[in-house]
Amino acid sequence: MKKVLLVVLTLSLMIGMIYAQEMQAGPQKAKLASPAGIKLAPSREVPAYSFTVPPVSLMDSYYDYMIGNYNALPLRVIPESAGGGYFMSYHGSRTNSTAATARRAFYSYISNTGAVLANNEITTVTNREGYTSVAVDPVSGKPLYSWHANHDTEALLEIEFTSDAFLDGLAGLFNDVVAAVDNPISITSPSGVTTSANEFIWPTNVIGPSPIAGMRRIYILGRNSVSAPVGAPSENPYIAYADFDADTIEAGVPLVWSYTHIPEMDNWNADSVNWRRPSNAFCADNFGNIYYVGYHFAYVGTDGDAIVEPDIDVFKCGNYGQGTWERFMSNGDLPSLNPLDYFTDADNNDIPYTDEQMRWTISNSSHINAVVDATGKIHVAAIWALGNDQGSYWPAFQFIKEFTFDPQTTAFNIKEIYPQTDDPAGVFQPWDVVAPWGDVDEVDENGFPLFVTDWPFCYWDDTVHDAAMMFHYNNIKLSEANAEGQMVCVWQNSWRARQANYYSNTDYTAYANVPEIYIAVSPDNGGTWSEPIVLNRIETPALTGIKPMWVYPADKVKFTGMVGDQEKGKIGLMFYDDTTWGSFANTPPVHPTNDGGRIMFAELEITFPLPDVSANNDVVTPVASMLQQNYPNPFNPTTTISFNMPKTGNVNLSVYNVKGQLVKTLVNSTQTAGSNSVVWNGDDNSGSSVTSGIYFYKVTTNGKSETRKMMLMK
């Protein structure tokens, strides 16, 4: 297998580490030349909408990168019982000074009508602060904030925390700022490696129930900025938690913090041989469980072969964060093929890739968030890119999908958000948009397939920031489902700008400097996703003269009533109006002048489409393989084997030795559709332990069999 990682370890990343301006991009997957393609025409009705609050400026700011949070929503709905409106948090700079202390943590209080009632720094200390997070108490409506800054005299940053008493509609009554996570933190991994200089920053706040009657529990998750021994980032998390109620906050009683962390991810960070890079987000349900959800990629070192293993991860901890962490896994790969042998291997005499080598994989989705819907399922939206079995990919083919996890059944599901297909196979293929399925719809003048392409990023040029633009600029965010099941998915798109600037397509010259906002909506907890609403400065009068960047939806849609049979709802948006398109704050900058921009708020009222009653929300999208690589491998004495069932049916999963003799039957029963797993304890059917060596495990279901190899090493 080829080595496809391109190392991006430059001075800019070292500066990023010193000032914690940004997450390190690290080595990136290799990108392959892609065709310009065409834009997919809308195939479904675009939801009707109107601006209930046209874009309003909160302040000028001269820090122009990821103004809210990497993996959380910085705009929060205030319960109507507490007066309604929104609390908002962001980092910004009032001046274009290059001083490290110029960037500060801000809060805003916005009324139900969109009036900005408060907007100011959270602290009075001149200190470099950033990557704020806010959670709102669902009972009292009081906001709880965190951010990272240097809280003491040593060099590492801490996660600082405060709460706002928020009395009688008056915001900004902050309690004393404390270090909820006081770095450095010492961690001993299950592998026995102790690291003592860990710096957990980039916080995410979530609130869940408390085991103490009448109280809630605030969780603050930080991510480790210290790279793994392999020389690249592997951000294991560290979680602080404490109990509170309205009286606690109003009286300014200091919270008592406890801590938890994920042992398996501590192993990843301590590994000196294999590199696993997680991209995860944090959420909590109403039953005392917390989750760290996302995906990872794995390689032998930073320039070695890919490690074949499940890439979608759900780490779950019960008992209000005091339980034992457990992990659920699934394979995020989706099947594809090579139409008319178009895609060829330039390193192998341009031999076409086989259909089996082609696949869709989760890519460029480091800035995801995770939400829980009204039924208890967890949702994560991300980018799936068309790639090959060597780990490289074609960047013009990147589309938005989501995966869900049902904690009750432990089933995973992958659903398309944009674009969507009517193909019963369930996977959008950009050369096969209309029936009949399974062939190429149209060819160009050269006889090549005519492709649908896309660019789901807020900037058009993937070469900026040392060719790490797609790492830094991806930003796909989901709102939580409200009681009516209404959700939104928000991302940005620069396909038309890329056509104008990169492909010199004069049809899109007017869009050369136009980032766009996409909003897909769901009326039924993500069961049905709409055609996206598209907002930009040319086609949307309310955005005239505005270049929106770093767009975040509010955490919930506010249900506003019915229009006929359809529900309506309001969604708040926070974003940055960039004076000169592209980030100056990232090193190297896109442009040489820090001319800043504006922190903006807007609100839309959307008419949600009717749910698609014909959709089967429990059907698992086909994956590239039923049988996943066991984990860990090699192992001693236990290992987990995961397999994906395309539909409910009888399955046999058995272990064989190198002579082909049956060793152990692990499963021989009916299994439900979706992701399933079983643990093998290294024993045979009689219960006796087996010897070290190579073993094979085989799954058979619905007339199909797959086999993989594993190693028991005692």
For 319, phi and psi rounded to 5 degrees?
55, 45
Domain check: are 668 and 534 in the same one? Answer: no
Domain check: are 576 and 666 in the same one? Answer: no
Q: What average pLDDT does the segment 288-317 reach?
A: 94
pLDDT tops 80 at residue 613: no
Residue 383 lies in a domain: yes
Q: What is the band of 630 on the pLDDT scale with cuts at 50, 70, 90?
A: confident
Q: What separation in angstroms does the CA of 410 have from each of 279, 349, 376, 526, 554?
A: 20, 44, 12, 17, 28
Domain check: are 514 and 393 in the same one? Answer: yes
Domain check: are 558 and 663 in the same one? Answer: no
Q: What is the band of 303 on the pLDDT scale with cuts at 50, 70, 90?
A: confident
What is the Cα–Cα distance from 223 to 238, expressed in whole angstroms? 7
- Tokens at 230, concatenated: 């392999």
Q: What average pLDDT does the segment 119-140 reach?
A: 97
Residue 623 lies in a domain: no
Domain check: are 516 and 654 in the same one? Answer: no
Domain check: are 242 and 309 in the same one? Answer: yes
What is the Cα–Cα distance from 208 to 138, expressed in whole angstroms? 9
Given this model, what pLDDT does residue 21 score? Answer: 56
Residue 614 lies in a domain: no
399-408 pLDDT, tens digit each = 999 999 999 9
Number of domains in the chain: 2
182-205 pLDDT, tens digit each = 999 999 999 999 999 999 999 999
**Element housing 603 (H / E):** strand 597-607
- Report the DSSP pairing between strands 143-149 and 129-136: antiparallel
Q: What average pLDDT does the segment 275-296 reach?
A: 97
Among 373, 428, 427, CA closest to 405: 373
Residue 135 lies in a domain: yes
What is the Cα–Cα distance from 489 to 526, expressed in whole angstroms? 9
Tell me the β-bridge partners of 708.
697
19-48 pLDDT, tens digit each = 445 899 988 889 999 999 999 999 888 999
262-282 pLDDT, tens digit each = 999 999 999 999 999 999 999
Contacts of 73 (CB under 8 A, 6+ apart): 369, 477, 479, 552, 553, 554, 555
Domain check: are 680 and 554 in the same one? Answer: no
End of a domain among 557, 592, 607? 607
Domain check: are 683 and 571 in the same one? Answer: no
- Report the DSSP pairing between strands 693-701 and 649-656: antiparallel
Residue 223 lies in a domain: yes
Domain check: are 456 and 519 in the same one? Answer: yes
Contacts of 190 (CB under 8 A, 6+ apart): 263, 264, 266, 267
Contacts of 170 (CB under 8 A, 6+ apart): none
Residue 625 lies in a domain: no
What is the Cα–Cα distance from 263 to 75, expressed in whole angstroms? 31
Q: 284-293, 326-335, 504-513, 691-700: lowest mean pLDDT where?
A: 691-700
In degrees, to the nearest 5, what angle opens at C-alpha 318 toward C-alphas 312 and 319? 165
Among 121, 622, 600, 643, CA closest to 336: 622
Q: What is the CATH number of the domain that holds 647?
A: 2.60.40.4070
> Range of 657's domain?
639-712
Q: What is the band of 621 on the pLDDT scale with cuts at 50, 70, 90?
A: very low
- Tokens at 337, concatenated: 């093929």
* % of the chain residues with pLDDT over 70: 95
Given this model, what pLDDT does residue 18 score? Answer: 41
Q: What is the band of 304 on the pLDDT scale with cuts at 50, 70, 90?
A: confident
Domain check: are 645 and 593 in the same one? Answer: no
Residue 371 lies in a domain: yes
Mean of the per-residue pLDDT values of the chain? 92
Among 372, 384, 403, CA closest to 479: 372
- Tokens at 51, concatenated: 């601006």
Q: Is 116 within 8 Å of 125 (Cβ atoms)?
A: no
End of a domain among 607, 623, 658? 607
Given this model, what pLDDT does residue 460 score? Answer: 98
Domain check: are 128 and 255 in the same one? Answer: yes
512-532 pLDDT, tens digit each = 999 999 999 999 999 999 999
What's the predicted TM-score (pTM) here? Answer: 0.86
Residue 630 lies in a domain: no
DSSP 172-223: --BPPPEEEE-S-EEEE-TTS-EEEEE-EEEEEEEEEE-SSTT-EEEEEEEE
Given this model, what pLDDT does residue 20 score? Answer: 47
Domain check: are 473 and 542 in the same one? Answer: yes
What is the Cα–Cα distance from 298 to 277, expressed in whole angstroms? 7
pLDDT tops 60 at residue 435: yes
